C-alpha cells in the first residue's frame, strides 16, 4: 500500500539532509569514562538544521571496531546505561528530535508527538526523526575507529520501527538490523487492534474535521 511518490519522497528527504552541515561536536564526559572506554555527548545538526544529541562510547585502545547505533523507545530519554557496555565495540545512543536532550528546537511533548504536523507530510515529525537516524549513521561513518563494514542498528518499541526505517533508508551502510517489538511500524493495522495511540488520532480527527484520515 505504499504511496506512488514513496521513493521520491524519501529521496528528497535524504537530499535535504545531505545539504545540512552536521557540525559534529564531541563533549567528553569525564565522570563516565573508564580505563577502557571513553564517553562523550555528541551534538550534531539534522534535517531542518535541527540540533540533536547522542551518547558516544568508544574503546580507549586504538583500533577499528564494529559499531552499534541504539535508537530509543517512544517518549524515553536514552541514557548510557541502556547502551552496549563492553569495550570491544563503538556505541552511539541517539535521542531523536523531541526526545531526551534533543528538545532544544523541536519539542511537541507527549501526548502530541505522534500527531505533530501530521497534516503536512513534508513537516511530519517522523520524517525528521528518521533523518536523525541517518545523520547518526553519517557520524559513525566519519569516524576512523569505526569498521564501516560492520555497522548495526537496534532498538525496541519505537526503536524497533526506527531500526527498520534506518536499515531500509540506508541499507547500503547498515549491515545488521535488530528490532524488538517494533511499535509504529504498521499504523493502520496497529490502530485496529490497540486502543493507544489510536485514541489520540481519533481525537485529532474529531478536532480537525478538515483533515481526512
pLDDT tens digit string along 31-68? 999 999 999 999 999 999 999 999 999 999 999 999 99
User: DSSP letter string over 56-72?
Assistant: EEEESS-S-EEEEEE-P
Considering the entire predicted model, what is its pTM? 0.97
Q: Which of 136, 128, 127, 172 is nearest to 155 (CA)?
A: 136
Q: pLDDT digits over 176-202, tens only?
A: 999 999 988 888 888 889 898 889 988
Residue 172: pLDDT over 90: yes
pLDDT, tens only, 121-155: 999 999 999 999 999 999 999 999 999 999 999 99
Q: Is 134 exposed, middle or buried (0-12, 13-18, 19+ CB in 10 A)?
A: buried
Nine cell digits for residue 128 = 525528521
Q: Is residue 199 classed as helix, strand or coil in its secondary structure?
A: helix
Question: For position 213, what pLDDT does the model report?
Answer: 82
Predicted local confidence at residue 208, as pLDDT: 93
Residue 170: its pLDDT value, please? 98
> Are the CB atoms for 25 and 44 separated by under 8 Å?
yes
Residues paired with residue 54 on neighbouring β-strands, in sequence order: 42, 94
Write the burial class of residue 145 (CB in 10 Å: 0-12 exposed, 13-18 middle, 19+ buried).
Answer: middle
Mean pLDDT of the chain: 96
pLDDT at 84: 98
- Going along 102-197, which residue ranges are E strands? 146-156, 176-180
Amino acid at each position: 500500500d505504499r504511496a506512488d511518490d514513496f521513493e521520491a519522497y524519501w529521496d528528497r528527504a535524504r537530499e535535504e539532509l545531505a545539504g545540512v552541515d552536521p557540525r559534529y561536536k564531541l563533549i567528553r564526559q569525564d565522570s563516565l569514562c573508564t580505563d577502557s572506554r571513553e564517553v562523550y555527548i555528541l551534538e550534531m545538526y539534522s534535517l531542518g538544521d535541527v540540533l540533536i544529541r547522542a551518547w558516544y562510547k568508544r574503546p580507549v585502545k586504538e583500533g577499528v571496531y564494529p559499531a552499534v547505533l541504539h535508537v530509543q523507545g517512544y517518549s524515553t530519554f536514552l541514557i548510557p546505561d541502556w547502551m552496549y557496555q563492553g569495550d570491544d565495540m563503538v556505541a552511539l545512543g541517539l535521542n531523536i528530535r523531541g526526545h531526551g536532550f534533543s528538545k532544544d528546537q523541536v519539542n511537541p511533548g507527549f501526548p502530541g508527538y505522534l500527531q505533530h504536523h501530521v497534516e503536512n507530510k513534508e513537516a511530519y515529525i517522523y520524517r525528521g526523526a528518521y533523518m536523525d537516524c541517518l545523520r547518526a549513521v553519517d557520524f559513525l561513518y566519519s569516524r576512523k575507529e569505526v569498521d564501516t563494514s560492520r555497522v548495526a542498528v537496534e532498538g525496541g518499541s519505537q526503536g524497533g520501527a526506527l531500526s527498520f526505517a534506518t536499515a531500509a533508508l540506508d541499507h547500503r551502510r547498515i549491515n545488521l538490523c535488530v528490532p524488538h517489538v517494533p511499535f509504529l511500524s504498521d499504523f493502520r493495522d496497529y490502530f485496529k487492534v490497540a486502543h493507544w495511540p489510536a485514541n489520540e488520532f481519533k481525537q485529532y480527527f474529531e478536532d480537525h474535521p478538515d483533515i481526512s484520515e
